[in-house]
Structure 1
Amino acid sequence: MYEQKTKETDNDVIEFIEDVDNPKKRADAYKLLAIFEETTGYEAKMWGPSIIGFGTYHYVYQTGHEGDAPLVGFSPRKAKISLYFATGDTEREEILARFGKHTTGKACVYINKVDDVDTDVLRELITQSVTFLQTLYPDS
């Protein structure tokens, strides 16, 4: 049976941020922490060893695979900061067009630093992602 790799843990979010080597990335992590908590209303929780997540939802795929995940989150990684928003949301691309300097992967949006993006648009992305997932998975 499949075991989900990234699960909510009891690890301390502040301790994790304090362990970020790069002082600028650490400062950006604190900025993002404040923005995500304020926008979602959820307390930050660690998911796996390196993702700071907010809220939670339970997903079930058509294949029968299911699990829990944060509604939104971020991770201050060495190369770039990863932002986690809902995938499959058609409005996401429209909002990202106004976001600022970023790149996208299959599930993540990557930024170098918070100063590269519009924080009002970041709040919009967070809100849209939470709304999309809560609509898609209303029983969470």
Structure 2
Amino acid sequence: MPMTQPTDASVDEFLAAVSDERRRTDSQAVCALMGEVTGEQPRMWGPSMVGFGHAPYTTADGKSHDWFAIGLAPRKAALTLYGLTFYGSNTDLLDHLGPHTTGKGCLYIKRLDAVDHDVLRALITRSWEAAHH
């Protein structure tokens, strides 16, 4: 399976086209926050992920691929944030974030207005700095 690649598609157009109003505004707000923290421009990765920066990603077969350092995807079930929770990291911040779930390297937020924005900013900042140490 080929890895998702960066594209030249418009991030603004992609986010504006998210059909669920709350998911659309939450996604736009998190994208703006990630841009503010990183100083980077967002870029589409594949048809449905927005990424910031670059970080090598090694797959189970030992191959290294280019990937984004942090990113987001407005999914139907939740706003998915990438690069903030690798290997059980950042539990000190996650404990204070508010309602969320985590997966392998993913943080899922159903409602942005239900989480602590200062904690989210700290998570994004710490993760970005860790990817660019």
TM-score (norm 2): 0.90
Structure 2 gaps, min length 5: none
Match for residue 101 of structure 1 among 99, 102, 111: 99
Question: Paired residue for 2:13?
Answer: 15
Q: 3-state SS of the aligned residue for 2:87?
A: coil
Matched residue type, 1:68: D
Q: In structure 1, how many angstroms separate the alpha carbons of the residues matched to 2:19 and 2:7?
A: 22
SS across alignment from 2:2: coil
Aligned twin of 2:2: 3
Q: SS state of the match for residue 9, structure 2?
A: coil
How much is the aligned-residue C-alpha RMSD, in angstroms?
1.8
Does the CA-based 8 Å contact 2:87-2:104 persist in structure 1? no
Residue number in structure 2 paired with 1:31: 29
Shift of 1:61: 6.3
Deviation at 1:58, TM superposition (A): 2.3
Alignment pair present for 1:48 and 2:51? no
TM-score, with normalisation over the residues of structure 1?
0.86
The answer as to whether partners of 1:71 and 1:130 remain within 8 angstroms in 2 is: yes
Question: What secondary structure does 1:74 align onto?
Answer: strand
Q: Give the stretch that moved more between structures: 54-63 or 119-128.
A: 54-63
Q: 1:62 to 1:32 in 2, by over 3 A?
A: closer
Per the TM alignment, residue 62 of structure 1 is displaced from its structure 2 partner at its CA by 8.6
Identity score, percent? 39
**Runs ≥4 residues deviating over 2 A:** 58-64
Aligned residue-pair number: 132
Q: 1:37 Cα deviation (Å)?
A: 0.5
Conserved 8 A contact 2:58-2:65: yes
